[in-house]
Structure 1
């Protein structure tokens, strides 16, 4: 078995490792130095680490990871110049880049790697257990070597090293402090191409060029200005006038995309989203007695027309999902799971059987619904779902929060009945999907198991897949996770969402690799 695993890891890691910096999109023009890149954000992050998608976009300019991913999902050097994998797949030795400094002038060392992975990412990141549950220890024989000791080989760990899953922070500033409230959470010190300058809440975040960046000659830009622009129409107008150069996520009204595509100064960005594969879903709070009856959950599923939701609320930038794993991940996707076709009549019968008859006003019961605070698309989708459920006698009261309030209410206070959001499925279901159903992620962090689903059967399957070294056996375990999740239905997976960004044509050098959405702007530049 381990021979199969090591061969698979060799494919992931590549036959040889170069210390070269990962390439960005091919450019025929010579980069120009200077200028301020203006990036629009929505929603505003609640904090700049262990937070939301927009927070990661900002932090990725300040912090860095050991590796990043190439277009074919192989690891490429970042803070690590090279690495070796032991024959049994249980030891990974990283050789770190020398001469790298934190923005406060202190040297970056292997101690920072060990602290960041074991004490922060593994313990507090929403995907920490899935990503690094098998990492038992990290040895630091010298300042430039970090040796990962695994209890069992992991086929998913290389994907976990990328994007926001394994951010490296300075141990000398973070050690002994609360990871969610310490002073560095909102004024970060990193090793990246840009240095944090200021955050004016509700308005902007400013980063300045790092003059001591280890990648000589970069970054090209003088600064990056992240502007908080909640209104989608205003973001579109900013792009058209050139006051905004780039909107990486939730860019413009979906109804406006076709018009923008025709403008001579605008590009639609589709590269850089490969590892995200967002899955839009509807979660029940299983602590609510109403939702303990599976017939009620099934009724909700039958009452929602997924195709109409994709076409009307998402303007075709989504398609119906059949399982929690994206259909494009063919090696993992299960084609034989229980499905819940749009059937309002069946939904009504199930609700009647569960004892929830219509009242004189036609209403069976009322529950609250909290759409994730990611903009108009999610509010519009919640309204669509509300109308669908009203037809079968369910009154959905939509409650809108800003992102900080939504995270607190859903995950910390658990004061909700239902919610909708999307999670990135990532390059491997172990990283992005299992956190929705694994009992060990419940009440552990934001962006995990909001339903509170706990089932020893699915836990056993998930945990077995995390240590299975045979790719075929592991894939079957992951397919069985989907079958159980679709059978028990603690959460309705509604749509596979298509992400895109919008930029002005004079912006060049964005990272096109699979996690490029969270990529560095170190190679970005503005044409004069």
Structure 2
């Protein structure tokens, strides 16, 4: 038996339409995707054993594994894949509505073949078919129902290595071993218990005492990490490259002060990104150079405009923009919001001190999750916002929505809160979404990065290194690029 820590409590137990990390920790043990990804980010078989792409890039054929059963004993077929792709990933998944936008139909010539038909080449799809991003759901339990309110979201039936047993709301979720799992011999553990623990200090104490053995997705306060790391507990930063998270400062271009490019350039020069990484994030990351992290090496370019930490340059730009210091030394005031998660409050304080040095007064506003989402993405009632995003293996999944003018939709979280509109960036995004030639597609993403760092609608701060803390007695922790977003089927405990 393994006890894992999660927080916050999931609203339901499938990532089909709720991609919260805590949901994923549970869901990926219950459901499978068509594939997973290896240490190099290449796809490896899961429910699909092989696949082929047509020469024109518009047809993707999957050959499904034989003998796979849902936890209720019904056989998995291509009908399940068709239903999941067309009516779940494409319609209700928050990112899938973009990544599967070109998907027109899924043909099922036999129970073990699913043929995806696209209006245009959609290479992005090959990076989002794991259990976290595209779980295959049982059509016989979902078809004809409202996916969002289906009761099986609370008592899920999957094909994965563990089966749902119990959910004590506010306390824990229990999964038990699937004895009929298709990956013969796995899982090794008999039971998984996911404890919902709100307090970071309590989570650290449970790991120290051995009451819990696994805590993914940076659930421990950074200042506690060095104390915890030792003979009894391990800290692992591998397993997160699939999401490639980064910290950024969203800038509301609707604000007449922030609309001035010189002011945004001054912000870029005023913030000490090296200091942010070292002092606030304890070295768990590196300064960002643009909206695509360097870990997404296929699409990343270092050839962008850079803004070195230079308060004198920031002062000069603010003077040129027409915002001299007043008698009290203050040029103007900005409100700073931040995502109400671990360490973001300290990041906001650090940025406040940086900006104070160049004469910008900052008022930090702390809100709960609902209030933050409403202010930043609903009413756009904010000035600057410390936010975390993920690029994923393909920036089309995570970066497009921050910078694309067509993503500006009041009330849609994590989608172009800056109000940024640029024809060059829009063209690059839209071309990359349907370009089948990889060289040309990469060039479009390079254009996006270069133009964005000229315009600065947001200021990329740092590439985050998320971490997992686990017991030294736990072996087989998945460190592939999507390891932290995968099941614990290969894990075991020494007693």
Asked if residue 371 in structure 1 is aligned to residue 372 in structure 2, the reply is: no
Confirm whether residue 41 of structure 1 aligns to residue 12 of structure 2: no
Contact 2:132 2:486 survives alignment (8 Å)? no
- 1:419-464: CA deviations, max 9, x gaps? 2222222222223322221233333843333323233321111121
Correspondence for 1:456: 423
> How far apart are 1:200 and its partner, in Å?
4.2
Q: Is the 8 A contact 2:293 2:391 kept in 1?
A: yes
Which segment drifts farther, 198-207 or 69-78? 198-207
* Aligned mates of 1:185, 1:327 — CA distance in 2: 36
> Structure 1 residues 178, 412: CA separation in 2 closer, same or farther (over 3 Å shift)?
farther
Q: In the comparison of the two structures, how many residue pairs are matched?
A: 491
After TM superposition, give the deviation of residue 479 of structure 1 in Å. 0.7
Q: Does 1:334 align with 2:296?
A: no
Alignment of 1:133-148 (within 5 A): 133-148=101-116
8 Å Cα contact 2:241/2:295 also seen in 1: no
Helix, strand or coil: the match of 1:61? helix
**1:127-176 deviations in whole A, cap 9, x for unaligned?**
32553233222112233221011233343332222352222223344445
Partner of 1:336, secondary structure, is coil
**Do 2:296 and 2:392's aligned partners in 1 also have CA atoms closer than 8 Å?**
no
Partner of 1:322: 289
Q: Secondary structure of the equivalent of 1:60?
A: helix
Could you say which residue in structure 1 is the equivalent of 2:201? 233
| Equivalent pair of 1:80/1:96 in contact (CA under 8 Å) | yes
Counterpart in the other structure of 2:156: 188
Q: Equivalences for 1:179-218 in 2 at 5 Å?
A: 179-180=147-148, 182-218=150-186
Sort the Cα spacing of 1:301 and 1:134 in 2 relative to 1 into closer, same or farther, 3 A.
Answer: same
Aligned: 1:431 with 2:397: yes
Deviates more, 1:494-503 or 1:180-189: 180-189
Equivalent residue in structure 2 for 1:396, among 348, 359, 362: 362
Correspondences of 1:271-286 after superposition (within 5 Å):
271-286=238-253
What is residue 57 of structure 1 aligned with on the other side? 25
**Structure 1 equivalent of residue 388 of structure 2:** 422
Instruction: State the distance in 1 between where 2:147 and 2:404 align.
Output: 23
Could you tell me which residue of structure 2 aligns to residue 30 of structure 1? none
2: CA distance, partners of 1:291 / 1:83: 48
Q: 3-state DSSP class of the match of 1:326? A: coil
Instruction: Give the aligned partner of residue 60 of structure 2.
Output: 92
Unaligned runs of 5+ in 1: 1-34
5+ residue gaps, structure 2: none
* Alignment partners' CA distance in 2, 1:91 and 1:433: 25
Indicate the RMSD between aligned Cα atoms, in angstroms.
Answer: 2.7
Aligned equivalents of 1:394, 1:198: Cα separation in 2: 52
After superposition, the Cα gap between the structure-2 partners of 1:330 and 1:72, relative to the gap in structure 1 and judged at 3 Å, is closer
Task: Name the SS for the 2:418 alignment partner.
Answer: coil
> Given the superposition, is the C-alpha separation of residues 428 and 143 from structure 1 closer, same or farther in structure 2, using an over 3 Å criterion?
same
Q: Determine the structure 2 residue equivalent to 1:500.
A: 467
Residue 385 of structure 1, aligned match among 331, 334, 351 = 351
- 1:415/1:208 CA distance change after superposition, 3 Å: farther
What TM-score, normalized by structure 2, do the two folds share? 0.89
SS, match of residue 29 in structure 2: coil
Deviations 1:340-367 (A, max 9, x none): 2223333344444445455555444444
* Deviation of 1:408 (Å): 4.9
8 Å Cα contact 1:139-1:146 kept in structure 2:
yes
Looking at structure 1, the residues matched to 383 and 30 of structure 2 have their Cα atoms a distance apart, in angstroms, of 37
Report the counterpart of residue 25 of structure 1 in structure 2. none
Judge conservation of contact 1:163–1:515 (CA < 8 Å) in 2.
no
Task: Tell me by how many angstroms 1:78 deviates.
Answer: 1.2
Residue 265 of structure 1 is matched in structure 2 by 232
**Secondary structure, aligned partner of 1:51:** coil
By how many angstroms is 1:120 displaced? 2.6
2:406 maps to what in 1?
Answer: 440
Return the TM-score normalized by structure 1.
Answer: 0.84
Q: Which of 267, 270, 276 does residue 300 from structure 1 map onto?
A: 267
In 2: Cα distance, 1:404 partner to 1:116 partner = 29
Residue of structure 2 aligned with 1:511, choices 470, 478, 481: 478
Distance in 1 (alpha carbons) for counterparts of 2:326 and 2:159? 61
**Aligned residue in 2 for 1:127:** 95
Correspondence for 1:81: 49
Residue matched to 2:446: 479
Distance in 2 of aligned mates of 1:105 and 1:445: 38
> 1:406-428 deviations in whole A, cap 9, x for unaligned?
44554345443332222222222
Contact 1:270 1:499 in 2 (8 A): yes
CA contact (8 A) 1:43 1:373 kept: no
